[in-house]
Amino acid sequence: MKSSVTDLSGIKKIWFTPFVDFRGDLLKIYRREIFQDLLPNVEEIYLSRSDKGVIRGMHYQLGSKAQDKLVYCITGRMLDVSIDLRPDGNLGLVHVEELIGGGKSALLIPGAFAHGVIVLEDHTSFISMSPQPYSPGDERGIRWDTLGVDFGLERPVVTAKDQAWPSLDEVVSQLK
Ligand SMILES: Cc1cn([C@H]2C[C@H](O)[C@@H](COP(=O)(O)OP(=O)(O)O[C@H]3O[C@@H](C)C(=O)[C@@H](O)[C@H]3O)O2)c(=O)[nH]c1=O
């Protein structure tokens, strides 16, 4: 299997080459050998499923609890949103990448970025792998509608928790 990595201002896009034959195809989305510098260990893997209009995030975990994430869309279509929170990086820069179910690429989002998804189709699912555990007490967030991006959602579906996070401007000013 061949793979290549593109750097998108700190986020990595990993391209896979599937094995294809008359039955369909096989795509290996994690192999330690390939990820040894990017994501050498995996502590947790979860599968998330949502319908059109759902927003999850924009979440991050504090300090040493920061969670790197390898995100791969299995079905449907979604916008993967990452926000650079590195004081010495592009602080506050929002990166939006469309992921399509069964596509040939995954995203590696470092723990120093807030992360979320905007679901564009019903029955959208993605898998997320992390080398650090989920730690709800260390979770923080940024409110999705303060990013300066029009996601064009007619009926956003969002939890009370995610609707109550501070704005991007507030979070950025605390990190300066
Ligand atoms: C994410 C997560 C949630 N949970 C539980 C907590 C809660 O009862 C339920 C739903 O949690 P949340 O509402 O926080 O799930 P969700 O809003 O889907 O949160 C996730 O959003 C995406 C975009 C990410 O990047 C993830 O890191 C994570 O923050 O699942 C875990 O036990 N482990 C986990 O790793």
Segment 145-171, tens digit of pLDDT:
999 999 999 899 999 999 999 999 999
Percentage of residues in the chain having pLDDT higher than 90: 88
Does this model's pTM top 0.80? My answer is yes
CB-based burial of residue 22 (10 Å sphere; 0-12 exposed, 13-18 middle, 19+ buried)? Answer: exposed
Q: Which of 44, 49, 55, 56 to mutate to test the pocket of ligand 1 (most atoms within 8 A of CB)?
A: 56
Domains present along the chain, CATH in parentheses:
3-175 (2.60.120.10)
Residue nearest to atom 3 of ligand 1 (CA): 134
The interface pTM score, or ipTM, of the predicted complex is 0.97
Residue nearest to atom 12 of ligand 1 (CA): 56
Structural tokens at position 73: 């869309």
- Which phi-psi region, left, alpha or beta, contains residue 170 (left: φ > 0; alpha: ψ -120 to 50)? alpha
In whole angstroms, what is the distance from residue 136 CA to residue 126 CA? Answer: 20
